Amino acid sequence: MKILLAVDGSPYTKRMLAWLATHDEWLATPHHYTVLHVVPMIPPHAASMFSADDLKTYYDDTAEAVFKPIRKFTARHDLATAYVSKVGHPPEVIAKQAKKLGTELIIMGSHGHGNLMNLVTGSVATQVMARTPVPVLLVR
């Protein structure tokens, strides 16, 4: 199964990885994981003050800071894993990458703010579910 792990480096990502570690069926060999981190784009007016190389370095370093502990986790569990970082609006990018990669399941941590907060702001998880037909497994 092709599984997309949408990660942001938060405690909710750590909780999702801990959940995976306690469920052997998700750590089985036939699964292939893609770890995706979406770095929010720096607004154009602010980005114009930096060189293209500086922006790329910032985006790459931000993603690598999120990937570093996850690389240890996937190595420890001997998981076939690809790492992808993108820049943009997280819900939109996650849905597009899931389609592009032929993902069969998206797993992500959820903040669990509740219905009122989601009504006001809309969570990334809610927006991902609205944008993709791929099943989404949320770990709180």
- The CA distance from 78 to 101, in Å, is 21
pLDDT for the residue 121: 43
Statement: residue 1 has pLDDT above 50 = yes
Tokens of 20: 């995976």
> What are residue 37's phi and psi, to 5 degrees?
-120, 130
User: Looking at per-residue confidence, does 76 or 120 come out higher?
Assistant: 76
Give per-residue pLDDT as tens, 47-68: 999 999 999 999 999 999 999 9
Per the CB < 8 A criterion, the answer to whether 85 and 63 are in contact is yes
Give per-residue pLDDT as tens, 59-118: 999 999 999 999 999 999 989 899 999 999 999 999 999 999 999 999 999 875 555 444
CATH architecture of 2-139: 3-Layer(aba) Sandwich (3.40)
Instruction: Note the helical H segments in 1-140.
Output: 11-21, 44-47, 52-76, 90-101, 115-121, 124-131
102-to-5, 49, 84 alpha-carbon distances in Å:
13, 37, 14
Domain ranges of the chain: 2-139
Give per-residue pLDDT as tens, 122-132: 589 999 999 99
Per the CB < 8 A criterion, the answer to whether 39 and 129 are in contact is no
What global pTM score does this model have? 0.90
